[in-house]
Structure 1
Amino acid sequence: MQTMSLQVGAHLQPTLSPRLQRAVRLLQMSSMDFSQVVRDALDNNPFLETEDGDPAPEAMAMDDVEPAVVAERPLDGADGVGWGVEPVSRSRMVDGDGVFDTLQAQTTLADHLLSQLNLLSLPERDWALAMAVIESLDDDGYLRTPLQEVGSLVPLDPPADSDELVVALRRVQALEPAGVGARDVVECLMLQLPQVGCDKRRALAARILRECVQCLASRDMNAVARRLGVPLADAESACMAIRRLDPRPGWRFGGPSVQYVTPDVIVRKVRGQWTAVLNDAVVPKVRLNRGYAELFRRHRNAENAELGAHLQEARWTVRNVEQRFSTILAVAQAILKRQHRFLAYGAMAMKPLALREIAQEVGVHESTVSRVTNNKFMATPCGVYELKYFFSRGLATASGGECSPTAIRGLIQELIAAESPAQPLSDVEIARQLAFQGLQVARRTVTKYRQLMKIEAADRRRASH
C-alpha cells in the first residue's frame, strides 16, 4: 500500500543581492559605459563630486587620450563563403553636447535578444542559462565560447548539465535575427534556411552546406552540380539562395566592427620589465563630498531618509570605482606575467592561457575574470588588444607540450610570407611543414586559420603574381 508523506528539508543555494548583481553588471561594462554611469551618479547624487582640478568623466573619456584602433581578433570558424559584403558602418552613441546629441542610439544585439527572451514564460533557471548564452555571443552573433564554459559562469545548484545547456542554446537560436547563436558559418546559414520559400531549393541548399561548402566558397557551380548529381541550373539557384542569407546576423546591431577605444591599461617597460598601469583617462575622478556628508551626519533625522540613501549609494559608488579598476589592473598584470614574450616576439610567442590560471592568481572567480576581460583593452607596443585576446586553449605538440592557436597562425603567416611566388604553399604542404616543427595541425585547421587571416588559397596567390 502506498503512503504519502510530507518532508521538509533545507539546502543552501547561492543568490546574488540586487546590489551585487548591479556590481557584476558594472564590472562587465566598457570604460565608456561605466564613465557614463558615474557621470549620471554625479548629476543626481549631492554627496558625490569630482576631485578638484580634474576634468569631468565625460571629458576624460573622450579628450585626454587619443583613441586607438583595436587590433582585430580573427573570427573562428570558416569565413568568407563568397559574400564580399562589407558591414554597415555603425557608431556608438555617447550622451553629451554636440553633434552626437542629434544621432539615434542603436539597440545592441544583447538588448534585442533579451527583449524577446523576456516575452517567454521561462523558469528562472532556464532564463539564467539562456541569458548566459546571450551574454557570451560575439558582436557578429556567433557563440565561440564552449557551452560548458558558458554554464560555469552561472552559479546554479545543481550546476547545469550538458542537456540543459543545449536547450538554452537552441532557445537562443530560435530568436531573431535568424542565425544568431551559431558556432560556425555553416550552422549560421543552416539556421536561416527556413527563409528559403521553395522546398526543393531549401533541401538542395542544405545539402550544399553539408557536403560541398568549399565549392560554394570558390563559386565553382559545376563542382557543386557534379558532386551532388543535380542540374547546373538547380545548383546555381540554390547557391544564390544561400548568398541571400546573412553570414553575420549580429552586425545589424550594436557598435562598429572596427572600434575606436581608449585603452584601460597601458603596458610600459620599466627597468627591463614589462609592467601594466591604469590609464588615468578612463578612471573617473570621483570622491565623497566630506562637507555634505558631515553636515548630514549632524542633522540627520527621520525626515531625511532619502538623503541617507543617497549617502549610502555615494559610498558604494566610490568603493565600486576603486574595486573595478584594481581588479582590472590585477588581471592585466597577471596576463602580462604569462604573455610577456608576446610583446617581445609577436604572435608566435603567445602561450595557451585559461581563465582559471588568472582567477587563481588574482584570487577571484573565473566568471569575474571573464567579465573583466570583456570590453577592456590593453595598449601594448604591438597594438591595442582586448584582454580576452590573450586567452586560448592549448594545442598539443609532438614533444608533449602545448601551443597557442595564435602562435600557430603566426607560423602559418610566416611560412606564406616566405614562400616562392611561383610555387605558393598549399594547405597540405603548410600542415606538413608545421609537423616538421613538432606541431600536429590538420589540413582543415590550416585552411581555417588561413581564411581567418584573410589569406587566399595557393592557386589564387599564384595567379595574383
Structure 2
Amino acid sequence: MKQGLSLRVSQHLALTPQLQQSIRLLQLSTLELSSEVDQMLDDNPFLERSTDEAEREAFGLAQLDSPVNQSDREFESTLFSAAANIDGTSAKAQNDPQDSDWQGDDGPSWDGDGSVSLAVDDSEWGSEAKARGNNLSGDDEMDATELARNQESLQSHLHRQALSLRLSAEDSAALRFLIESLNDDGYLEDPLEDLARGLAGDDAEQIEQLLHHFTVALGLLQSLEPVGVGARNLGECLRLQLQAIQKLRLPDTEHDPALVAVALRICQQPMDLLARRDIKHLMPLCDASDAAVRAAITLIGRLEPKPGRRFCDVERNIVVPDVLVAKTGSGSAVKFAVRLNPEVMPRLRVHDIYANALKGHKGGGNEAANVMALQQRLQEARWFIKNIQQRFDTILRVSSAIVERQKSFFVHGELAMRPLVLREIADELGLHESTISRVTTAKYMATPFGTFELKYFFGSGLGTESGGNASSTAVRALIKQFVAAESAKRPLSDNQISDMLKEQGIECARRTVAKYREGLRIAPASLRKEL
C-alpha cells in the first residue's frame, strides 16, 4: 500500500456552546425558561436579577421593526439550519471530541470579545418588563397562580366536615385514612381489604379489626358532601346521588320516586348498557317501560360522574401567555398591537462589581488559570443574557407575522381562519422552518377571543369549489356550529355534516368530518340524541 499526502478543503458546521444554548432556550416553555434562569443564577456568580432601569442593547426589541441586515440573516440561517440536526451533532461532539471544534480539554469555551470589562450588553435586559398591578394591594398582593394554589382541595373539604362528627379515635383515624386514599375524582380505587392488608400485613386478627373500622368509615365518608364521594365505581357513585334524591322526596315530576327507582335499577346493571343507551336490553332487566327507561336515563345524565371535579387543582390549567395582542382602532382602520408579556420576561444583568473586580485583577503564575476560568463564567453570563433576549425577539417577530397573516381571525373569529403553514412564516422572516416550529411550541398568545398556543394559528387547507382553500380550523368551527344548532331529537350524522359543508363549497369527506368531530370531543349522533 503506497502512502502519500493530500490536501483537501471541506466545510462543516461547528455547534458552539452559544449556538446550542440559543437553540435550547428557544424551544423552552415559559415555565422551563424560568427554571433555567433560576439554575443559571445559582451557578453563575456574575449573573443577577435587577429592577433598575438600564440601557437596552442596540439589537433589542426597540429595533424590531428595523430591516434585518444581511449578516444577521446569514447568522440566523446558519443557526436554525443547524437546529434540525442539533441532536445528532451534539451526540457526535460528545462521543468524538476530536471532531469538535469547540470542545476542549477544559470544557466549553464562552469566549467573546476577550474583554472582561463592563460592556453595553452587561446592562439590565428586560427593563421594559415592569410588573403590572392588580386589584389587590399591600401584603395581600398575589398572582393568579397563588390564588389557584389557595383553592381548597377535596381532602381539606372532607376533613373539615369530619370535624363535626363525634367519632372514636379508631373510627376517626380510619376516616382520615380513607379520605387521603381518594383519587382526584373522589373515588376510592383500592378495595378495603387491600387497604387493611397494607397496614396490618399478615396479621389476620388486625386485618379484621381494620376492615370493620374501614367499613364504618366508608359509610360516614359517603354521607359527606359532595354527594357520591367515596364510591368504588361509577355505578355506586350514581346510586349514591340517586339515593340522596330519594331522601329529598321532592314533589316535582323530575324527581318522581318511581322514576328514581328505575334509575337506581339501571345503575345496578352493567355500565356499558347505559353508555350505549341500550333501551331494549334495559327494559326487561329493570322491569320498566320504554318511556320510563328513557326518562330515567335523562335523569342519570344530569348527575355528576366525578364528584371531586370541582376541587381539582386549577393551577395546572393556568396558561400564562408569552404574547399579548390588543385591538386598536375600529372599522377599516382596525389594527392589532403585538407585544411581549412583561410578566414572563426575566430581567437580568451582569454583576458590575464582580466584573470590575475581575477587570482590575491581574493574576500571574498559578492564579492565571483561576482568572481564565472566571473570565469564561463572565462571558457565559453575557451570552446567556443575549440568548434570552434573542429568544424573545424571535417570538415577537414570529407572533407579529402570525397576527398579520391571520388578521381576519382577530376581527371575525375562528370561522375566518385562513390556511397557514410553517414555511410561509419562515420564508417571510428569513428563518429556518424548524425555528418556527420551536417558537410556536408551548408558547401562547392572548387574543380578544381567548388564549391560544401559537401552533393553533397554523393549519392545513381543504379544497373549495372556487379553487381556493379553507382552513381546517375554520372547518372545525363550522362543524361545532352545525352541531350546536342541530335538533336534539334528530342530531346530524357525519354524512349530513359532510353534505352541509359541501353546500358551503368545502370538500370534506365523511371520515374527515368524523376525525374533526372526535378532535372537538363531540359524541356521535347516536349518543347526542335526546331520549
In the alignment, which of 331, 350, 373 is matched to residue 440 of structure 2?
373
Q: Distance in 2 between matches of 1:218 and 1:422?
A: 17
Task: Quote the residue 2:40 is aligned against.
Answer: 41
Deviation at 1:424, TM superposition (A): 1.9
Change (3 A) 1:423 1:4: farther
Task: Quote the residue 1:278 is aligned against.
Answer: 340
Are 2:352 and 1:290 aligned?
A: yes
Deviation at 1:294, TM superposition (A): 2.4
What does residue range 261-276 of structure 1 map to in structure 2 within 5 Å? Answer: 261-271=319-329, 272-276=334-338
Are 2:413 and 1:335 aligned?
A: no
Q: Is the 8 A contact 1:347 1:410 kept in 2?
A: yes
Q: Any idea what the Cα deviations from partners look like across 1:379-407, whole Å, max 9, x if unmatched?
A: 11222111111111222211111111110
Task: Quote the residue 1:422 is aligned against.
Answer: 489
Change (3 A) 1:366 1:218: farther
Task: Quote the residue 1:457 is aligned against.
Answer: 524
Give the letter for the 1:25 counterpart: R
Are 2:418 and 1:347 aligned?
A: no
Q: Distance in 2 between matches of 1:403 and 1:300?
A: 67
What does residue range 400-411 of structure 1 map to in structure 2 within 5 Å? Answer: 400-411=467-478
In the alignment, which of 447, 450, 457 is matched to residue 514 of structure 2?
447
Task: Quote the residue 1:393 is aligned against.
Answer: 460
What does residue range 104-143 of structure 1 map to in structure 2 within 5 Å? Answer: none
Q: Distance in 2 between matches of 1:261 and 1:364?
A: 27
Q: Is the 8 A contact 1:60 1:282 kept in 2?
A: no
In the alignment, which of 401, 419, 429 is matched to residue 362 of structure 1?
429
Q: Is the 8 A contact 2:21 2:387 kept in 1?
A: no
Task: Quote the residue 2:388 is aligned against.
Answer: 321
Deviation at 1:13, TM superposition (A): 3.8
Change (3 A) 1:18 1:52: closer
Q: Distance in 2 between matches of 1:308 and 1:5?
A: 43
Q: Distance in 1 between matches of 2:3 and 2:354?
A: 63
Q: Is the 8 A contact 1:65 1:262 kept in 2?
A: no
Task: Quote the residue 2:50 is aligned against.
Answer: 51
What does residue range 161-176 of structure 1 map to in structure 2 within 5 Å? Answer: none
Task: Quote the residue 1:66 is aligned against.
Answer: 144
Q: Which residues of structure 1 form unaligned runs of 5+?
A: 70-87, 90-216, 221-255
Q: Any idea what the Cα deviations from partners look like across 1:23-58, whole Å, max 9, x if unmatched?
A: 21111111111122112222232222212369xx9x
Q: Any idea what the Cα deviations from partners look like across 1:402-423, whole Å, max 9, x if unmatched?
A: 1111100111111122222232
Deviation at 1:329, TM superposition (A): 0.8
Q: Is the 8 A contact 1:66 1:262 kept in 2?
A: no
In the alignment, which of 374, 398, 414 is matched to residue 307 of structure 1?
374
Change (3 A) 1:257 1:12: farther
Task: Quote the residue 1:202 is aligned against.
Answer: none
Task: Quote the residue 1:432 is aligned against.
Answer: 499
Q: Distance in 1 between matches of 2:408 and 2:346?
A: 32
Change (3 A) 1:432 1:52: closer
- What is the RMSD of the two structures over their aligned residues, measured on CA atoms? 3.6
Task: Quote the residue 1:156 is aligned against.
Answer: none
Q: TM-score, normalised by structure 2?
A: 0.48
Task: Quote the residue 1:30 is aligned against.
Answer: 29
Q: Distance in 1 between matches of 2:13 and 2:419?
A: 32
Q: Is the 8 A contact 1:416 1:424 kept in 2?
A: yes
Give the letter for the 1:266 counterpart: L
Aligned length: 281
Q: Is the 8 A contact 1:377 1:385 kept in 2?
A: yes
Partner of 1:454: helix, strand, or coil?
Answer: coil
Deviation at 1:18, TM superposition (A): 3.4
Q: Is the 8 A contact 1:374 1:388 kept in 2?
A: yes
Deviation at 1:270, TM superposition (A): 2.7
Q: Distance in 2 between matches of 1:218 and 1:9?
A: 72
Give the letter for the 1:263 counterpart: P
Q: Is the 8 A contact 2:327 2:448 kept in 1?
A: no
Q: Any idea what the Cα deviations from partners look like across 1:39-90, whole Å, max 9, x if unmatched?
A: 2222232222212369xx9x989x8753599xxxxxxxxxxxxxxxxxx97x
What does residue range 230-241 of structure 1 map to in structure 2 within 5 Å? Answer: none
Q: Distance in 1 between matches of 2:324 and 2:379?
A: 33
Partner of 2:406: helix, strand, or coil?
Answer: helix
Deviation at 1:378, TM superposition (A): 0.9
Deviation at 1:10, TM superposition (A): 5.0
Q: Distance in 2 between matches of 1:318 and 1:454?
A: 43
Give the letter for the 2:39 counterpart: D
Give the letter for the 1:453 counterpart: L
Task: Quote the residue 1:250 is aligned against.
Answer: none
Change (3 A) 1:258 1:439: farther
Q: Any idea what the Cα deviations from partners look like across 1:321-346, whole Å, max 9, x if unmatched?
A: 11111111111111111112222322
Q: Distance in 1 between matches of 2:18 and 2:456?
A: 30
Change (3 A) 1:332 1:286: same
Change (3 A) 1:296 1:436: same
Task: Quote the residue 2:103 is aligned against.
Answer: none
Larger radius of gyration: 2
Task: Quote the residue 1:105 is aligned against.
Answer: none
Partner of 1:261: helix, strand, or coil?
Answer: coil
Q: Which residues of structure 2 form unaligned runs of 5+?
A: 54-125, 133-140, 149-182, 185-274, 279-313
What does residue range 57-206 of structure 1 map to in structure 2 within 5 Å? Answer: 65-66=143-144
Task: Quote the residue 1:211 is aligned against.
Answer: none
Q: Distance in 2 between matches of 1:11 and 1:218?
A: 67
Q: Distance in 2 between matches of 1:347 and 1:265?
A: 19
Q: Distance in 1 between matches of 2:401 and 2:320?
A: 21
